[in-house]
Amino acid sequence: MDDRVPPANGAALQALCPDSLTFRVDSPLALAMESGATLSPVTIAYQTYGALNAGKSNALLICHALTGDQHVGNLHPVTGRGGWWETMVGPGRPFDTDRFFIICANVLGGCMGSTGPVSLNPDTGEPYGLDFPVVTIADMVRAQALLIDHLGIDTLFCVAGGSMGGMQVLQWASAYPQRVFAALPIATSARHSSQNIAFHEVGRQAIMADPDWRGGRYLTEHTLPSKGLAVARMAAHITYLSDSALHRRFGRNLQDRVARTFSFDADFQVESYLRHQGRIFVERFDPNSYLYLTRAMDYFDLAADFGGSLVNAFRGSPTRFCVVSFTSDWLFPTSDSRAIVRALNAGAASVSFVEIETDRGHDAFLLDIPELIETTRGFIDAAARARGLA
């Protein structure tokens, strides 16, 4: 059924305004997960923008990144800030809400209304915590497919997303090639690197080392590992930027002072910035969800399901692809995107590739980068003409 419910965000739940609501679909079907576990019931929280046409051929699914959610183009109910991809979603923008029916769902394992570790375990009546089964990117996409089925949509016009969202795009195109007309994976990879797994492990250990984590039972014990989660966010945020961007923005400038304090206060502007990022993240994200979603990214290896061959994951795909990378993205470097493009070409898929020059780092896909906006607009417009939506 569809209903209007507040997101189940654990720590941030009490901060929600009464009218800060989101759609949801509750599935009575048991979701078979890659770990061998089954999950039932399953709730998927989502937002939509624009209108579905009579032929249901203009649906565009946006997949969010690690710390994103379904609020891609609307005021966020917790932070009060605009949607995380407002540069791309809206009337006249590349994902034009006057032309397309935009869908964005909170991923399985998330903390903004979809079933995750903050949800109540029907067997105990308490939050799942670490009793929640480990989630993979494939599990997220299977849950999204339940939502798309519920909406009565057979084929998605386009699936788009960056970073972890790009992983979901690749999974959609591989698992459901006949249901994806066009795919736009941005700043992503077909498998997580050992370096990225290492960064995630640092973040997870920071959370689990916080005494308020309580073995993942902090909700039932009325604590919150806020310090650990903040440190995890600080460490991760460094990887989203580039050295050039950090130097241009902060350099070695001191924070509101003319001399060093010779202490461990935030003397430098960059220190103060990272501490601020950690504090505001705690207000909107659940620590256990952070553990689960980083692990999902770590496990992602699309070729592994096809005998180690990424070519076989896309062989004969009818989907048209546009793969985008950024020159200063060292988290998901251009070499990762080129590997995807080579596999698509070898599998006889239709693919275009754009490497955008910028010093904004991995986060460039979220920013107002003119070349990204024009690339996306051109790809979407061409696909719309081919789809008969122009």
Q: Identical fold at 2-192+302-387 and 196-294? A: no
Q: pLDDT at position 16, please?
A: 31
- pLDDT at residue 3 greater than cutoff 60: no
> Packing angle between helix 226-240 and helix 287-299, nearest 10 degrees?
40
Mean pLDDT in residue range 292-306: 97
**2-192+302-387: CATH class:** alpha beta
Q: Is the peptide bond before 127 cis (omega within 30 degrees of 0)?
A: no
- Read off the pLDDT of residues 37-75 as tens digits, 9 standing for 90 and up: 999 999 999 999 999 999 999 999 999 999 999 999 999
- pLDDT at residue 21 greater than cutoff 60: no
- Read off the pLDDT of residues 5-14 as tens digits, 9 standing for 90 and up: 333 334 443 3
Give the DSSP letter of residue 260: -
List 226, 325, 362, 363, catalytic entry: 362
Beta bridge partners of 89: 95
Domain ranges of the chain: 2-192+302-387, 196-294
- The distance of Cα 2 from the centroid of its chain, to the nearest Å, equals 23
- 329 catalytic residue (yes or no): yes
Q: pLDDT at position 118, please?
A: 96
Q: State whether CATH 3.40.50.720 applies to domain 196-294.
A: no
List 114, 163, 317, 337, catalytic entry: 163
**Distance of alpha carbon 93 from alpha carbon 305, whole angstroms:** 36
- 163 catalytic residue (yes or no): yes
141 contacts 175 by C-beta, under 8 angstroms? yes
Q: pLDDT at position 171, please?
A: 98
List 69, 329, 336, 363, catalytic entry: 329
- The distance of Cα 135 from the centroid of its chain, to the nearest Å, equals 14
- 200 catalytic residue (yes or no): no
> Which of 170, 174, 173, 152 lies closest to 162, judged by CA?
170
Q: pLDDT at position 19, please?
A: 29
